[in-house]
Structure 1
């Protein structure tokens, strides 16, 4: 990690090996009608340790869902690699099947991820049948539903998704992931479609599962408030790269990157005027030179970068990829100049 890309690195917590790690990950997609390839993920290092909850935060289109899908083995990287338990991810079908028993996906829309023709029992048992579970299927399904907060589980076995509330459907989806006893879950906007009264219950459930099962989680979200409530560490993503990362309390109480500051400024509890970013995020097939945020940066537009002597660097000089470690890091010329 070069000093240029950090603004005060926090002390690493004990030398615990990552459970899941991405190293110099790049994912590009062919451009449309002869356009340049889209750099959806453009150099990412990210570690998730055993029992750790990491929030991956950013606007729609920043690449966070593509990154999450790659960590699940659903999108092979163009370059770089993903490792799990210290071993590189093997993309052959048999190896991926074994991997997906250990790493499970929880989608944001329980209505869309549950087959309306399948009972709750069938939905939760599906993973066991795919992986040819040799134990007591009924006991495994009941145990998963109980851990997900649906008790007594037998009461829900023969129900269909349309007979459940939104929160109950999300618990069924979580039970379907838990039934295989994974070591890590990837939750893509896990409470986005739920009422505010239910959101806290689902977040509390994820925290309880971490405490009881030692479960690790990557939570993909656009909501920094959610990250504050659930994560140990946050990684803020913009245009294919992580631009700020660190312990959640440090990043969200003292954000260094102008993009993180802008995202935080619109939360209801934020003090001062919200920062209104101009324009839309750039096209990933046309990543700008220099800092990829500079065209929308309120610090550059307001003259603060000029006063710090880094305005030209902001427009022309690229920043290195942040390491995947747990320390607080930021990819911003202005933040580094401020010390």
Structure 2
């Protein structure tokens, strides 16, 4: 485990752009993100499909080199050379949402979990390491699962095998992309409880990528809400989800079953990341602007024309919104 006293992982000014088709403008999938994850902290990265959260997560894993900014881990800048990345990926492991797609149907559970050890040239007792990982993932007694195949397991058991395959390398950070989206409701709570217990027992950090604010409430210490390539609100999960300041966060929360009041139906789809609008990037869909509240607060013009600053990556509560700033609760100055 790392002994760093600062953030375990930091993204600083991260930009990721992809070439446009047939001469079109580059798609700015991640358009200026600062994000810290502390040792032992679980951060939920939340937003609609297409907001850039999966691209950001893949970059933090070293799978997508940034076009600007950098990623640091335990105080060291991420090196994208082959040998350095191999070492890094032993310390940072990915858990995907679909366990069936993550597991080779022709490999036994034992081989699936041992694969990472073999890739990284593990020289210890392979069987003991596999058994320990399966046991920590809640598959006990582990020997009972060694020779079973994925099709012989339930969905929850398959996800536990995927988690065991990550744990066997003794990582310091897990990146979980929609880790319970494909599971039955009855099993989701068990997997979330497992991830929390792993944090408590092993000191693991985790970035949980999800569209589900209810999941964030149940598992995260801190939440970062992402829209069109940028984090627009961040802070302690209790603060952000009980008193959201950004209209986008308010809209996402309003559709949860337990939410009070009428749900906010956002108009249209998120803009094309190759044509990000000026001003606040949410203004074309913003219910506060549409209702006249922003006009009454004297910020409607700023919403349409003045760009907002990139939020800092620390743990403080922050929001990038001219309307929230007018109410004394957000960052609304024009970006430098």
Q: What range is the shorter-chain TM-score in?
A: over 0.9
1:230 maps to which of 206, 219, 226: 219
| Aligned mates of 1:100, 1:288 — CA distance in 2 | 36
1:333 maps to which of 316, 322, 326: 322
- Residue 248 (1) aligns with residue 248 (2): no
**Counterpart for residue 321 of structure 1:** 310
1:19 maps to which of 1, 8, 30: 8
**Counterpart for residue 219 of structure 1:** 208
- Residue 302 (1) aligns with residue 286 (2): no
Structure 2 portions without partners, runs of 5+ = 329-336
1:108 maps to which of 97, 102, 122: 97
| Aligned mates of 2:231, 2:81 — CA distance in 1 | 28
Deviations 1:283-322 (A, max 9, x none): 0000000000000000000000000000000000000000
1:47-126 alignment, distance < 5 Å: 47-126=36-115
Query: 1:34 deviation in Å?
Result: 1.3
- TM-score by length of structure 1 reads 0.95
| Aligned mates of 2:221, 2:22 — CA distance in 1 | 42
Deviations 1:161-220 (A, max 9, x none): 000000000000000000000000000000000000000000000000000000000000
**Counterpart for residue 17 of structure 2:** 28
- Residue 127 (1) aligns with residue 135 (2): no
| Aligned mates of 2:33, 2:98 — CA distance in 1 | 27
Q: Detail structure 1 runs of 4+ shifted over 4 Å in the superposition.
A: none
SS of 1:327's equivalent?
A: coil
Q: Which of the pair has the greater relative contact order for Cα pairs under 8 Å at 6+ separation?
A: 1
| Aligned mates of 1:284, 1:72 — CA distance in 2 | 22
**Counterpart for residue 138 of structure 1:** 127
| Aligned mates of 2:21, 2:305 — CA distance in 1 | 27
- Residue 193 (1) aligns with residue 200 (2): no
Query: 1:120 deviation in Å?
Result: 0.1
- Residue 272 (1) aligns with residue 261 (2): yes
| Aligned mates of 1:163, 1:202 — CA distance in 2 | 19
The number of residues matched between the two structures is 325
Structure 1 portions without partners, runs of 5+ = 1-14
- TM-score by length of structure 2 reads 0.96
| Aligned mates of 2:77, 2:298 — CA distance in 1 | 42
**Counterpart for residue 181 of structure 1:** 170
Which deviates more from structure 2 when the two are superposed, residues 38-47 or residues 15-24?
15-24
**Counterpart for residue 46 of structure 1:** 35
| Aligned mates of 1:121, 1:311 — CA distance in 2 | 59
| Aligned mates of 2:230, 2:166 — CA distance in 1 | 28
Query: 1:16 deviation in Å?
Result: 4.4
| Aligned mates of 1:42, 1:334 — CA distance in 2 | 22
SS of 2:112's equivalent?
A: helix
Deviations 1:260-293 (A, max 9, x none): 0000000000000000000000000000000000
Query: 1:136 deviation in Å?
Result: 0.1
| Superposed CA RMSD | 0.7
Deviations 1:8-64 (A, max 9, x none): xxxxxxx94100000000000000111100000000000000000000000000000
Deviations 1:132-173 (A, max 9, x none): 001000000000000000000000000000000000000000
